[in-house]
Structure 1
Amino acid sequence: MIVITLTKVPPSLRGALTLWCQEIQTGVYVGNMSARNREKLWDRITRDIGNGQATMAYNTKNELGYQFRTTRDDQEVADFDGVPLLVRLKKVETPLRPGFSDAAKMHRARISNRAKTPRHEVDNIRPFVSLDVETTGLDATSNLIISIGAVRYTSNTEISKLYSLIKINRHVPESIAKLTNISDELLMKQGEPIKPVLVRLRDFVDDDPIVGFNLVFDDEFLTAAYRRQQQEPLTNRLIDILPLVKRTNKFLENYKLATVLKKYQIVNANEHNSLADAQATMMLTLKLIENGVKVF
């Protein structure tokens, strides 16, 4: 029997371990395999771990009945008369950045070999609208939209914006107010009823494609809002760029918008503001297209 614990590793590695072990708690995997397969699995872990950490404990014939190993660079496993002990190292090596494994190098090579989109084609992208909403929670059936931000890209010199705060008939949760800087007082002063905002949004997007990051979330809330107001939901083509990012960046620590933007060197100075997030999503979309990713 083996027990493996993982922290801050790429999602692709977590997925790979589920083929061999059962995840009984987040980051904790239990399995039963031969010593040979155990060694192959450890090789896979150390190859694809990125900036994360891993520890493996397994049965063996020693005084304790088990052995363990770790990828931590500030400690090492030492044998003391048959008893495994963790010894703290005096010198801590600088951790490698994600992407130094052979698999990462091969993946990076495939990405670098992908043909860049010619500049004139980037400049001639058809108009699209990037969109983001902030809400009082995660469930579209019981929570409400408190702000909508949208940015229309027509060309590098022609960008229009839409931003509205939405007045609601309930308290904004403290955690949401802290995250978004949208308070009850702000909505009372600057918020407006959602019905006219939804009408303006429909006119703003027209029949252009709508792009978003984890767009399923935004679409669920907008669809619920339109239906509550007895209006038809938007029927525009929806393009979620999160799956595109996952396919082209398999070794990111996570796929939060902030992490992805940092990867592409895009600055978003007002995170969790719907307009700022929509504008950052627009820039990310253009960057993906420039890197040869087929978005539209």
Structure 2
Amino acid sequence: MIVITLSKVPPSLRGDLTKWYQEVQTGVYVGNVNAKVRDQVWERIIRDIGSGQAVMVYNAQNELGYQFRTTRTDHEIVDFDGIPLLKRLNQVKSPSSKKLGFSDAAKFHRIKMYSKRSKKSKAYQVKMPLFVAVDVETTGLDLTKDDLISIGAIKKGEDGELKKLSLLIQTDRVISPEITKLTGLSTEILEKKGVSLQVALTRFLEFIDDAPLVGYNLQFDDAFLSKSLKLVQEKTLHNQMIDLLPIVKKRNRFIDNYRLSTVLAEYDITNSTPHHADSDAEATFALAEKLIENQDLIF
């Protein structure tokens, strides 16, 4: 059991805690999570608490059966023969006099930040692997009924220059107003600027060759590509498939949601035209490079 009390903290921090704990009373949160999540939550509190205060009490193997942490500056946690005690200070410490790293969570935060800086410094020595970022747009979400209407792909050549492939694909299906609003593609546009499915997939296969394919929620793209390849009797994809979604979920436990737009904002990546295959592929490529630099993605 873990109990957290908050006072005078930003509303965003209260919202974050409700993902893991139940607010049984205003500012009082109760939950039962493992030690890793508990420490990450405390780290998030330390980071976002502003001028507020927080106390965390949790089970521990000591004489009392519990341990606690606090951000209060008028008290200090002391260890008395293995028993944690809260000592009231005669004078309230000013923020400038508070010793950095006064708690295990603060030390953990400093270690993590140092680790990130270390990763970034090493990243410049890491040679980027060859891969192709891919995204597709379709007439809908139903694999059995809907068709590919756009493919976007991007890779970096041996000269370091980005090489892009943007394909619009003709279809017999009428494009719905919802899909047009989302992708900017209409039946008229595809008739004028699109190519046949056979031509599009041939050019796509030539572009990707045998390079690993990277995507965000790649299962969706792979399913429509595989279905379309069978329709035109082209060879199936045997490329290595790397989906960035589960990697991001594993590395970012506290993100609000895992929509591509939210994840891109978390990594400071701009996507000028979302739900356009070429733009989404370019943004996915940038996300993959960030994950590689952080050593979260290793081929």
1:187 equivalent in alignment to 2:190: yes
Q: Which has the higher contact order (CA 8 A, sep 6+)?
A: 1
The residue correspondences of 1:197-212 to structure 2 (distance < 5 A) are 197-212=200-215
Please state how far the C-alpha of 1:121 moved relative to its aligned partner: 3.4
1:128 equivalent in alignment to 2:131: yes
Tell which structure's C-alpha radius of gyration is larger. 2
1:166 equivalent in alignment to 2:169: yes
Q: Is the 8 A contact 1:126 1:154 kept in 2?
A: no
In structure 1, what is the Cα distance between the partners aligned to 2:183 and 2:161? 28
Q: Which runs of 5+ in 2 are unaligned?
A: 1-13, 49-103
Q: Show structure 1 runs of 4+ deviating over 6 A.
A: 46-51, 102-105
Q: Is the 8 A contact 2:288 2:297 kept in 1?
A: no
The residue correspondences of 1:49-88 to structure 2 (distance < 5 A) are none
Q: Is the 8 A contact 1:261 1:284 kept in 2?
A: yes
1:141 alignment counterpart? 144
Q: Is the 8 A contact 2:123 2:295 kept in 1?
A: no
One-letter identity of the residue aligned with 1:230: Q
TM-score normalised by length of structure 2? 0.64
In structure 2, what is the Cα distance between the partners aligned to 1:138 and 1:103? 44
CA RMSD of aligned residues (A): 3.5
Q: Deviations over 1:137-164 (max 9, x none)?
A: 1122211111000001236832111111
Secondary structure of the 2:165 match is strand
1:40 alignment counterpart? 30
1:274 alignment counterpart? 277
Secondary structure of the 1:40 match is strand
1:113 equivalent in alignment to 2:103: no
Q: Which runs of 5+ in 1 are unaligned?
A: 1-7, 21-34, 52-101
Count of residue pairs brought into register by the alignment? 219
One-letter identity of the residue aligned with 2:160: T
Q: Is the 8 A contact 2:151 2:166 kept in 1?
A: yes
One-letter identity of the residue aligned with 2:272: A
Please state how far the C-alpha of 1:9 moved relative to its aligned partner: 6.0
TM-score normalised by length of structure 1? 0.64
In structure 2, what is the Cα distance between the partners aligned to 1:247 and 1:282? 19
In structure 1, what is the Cα distance between the partners aligned to 2:275 and 2:282? 12
1:246 equivalent in alignment to 2:249: yes
1:232 alignment counterpart? 235
Secondary structure of the 2:30 match is helix
Q: Deviations over 1:90-141 (max 9, x none)?
A: xxxxxxxxxxxx999968964752441524434x222110000001111222
One-letter identity of the residue aligned with 1:252: I
Q: Deviations over 1:243-288 (max 9, x none)?
A: 1111111111111111111111111111111011101111111111
Q: Is the 8 A contact 2:133 2:281 kept in 1?
A: yes
One-letter identity of the residue aligned with 1:133: V
Percent identical: 41
One-letter identity of the residue aligned with 2:125: E
In structure 1, what is the Cα distance between the partners aligned to 2:110 and 2:202? 44
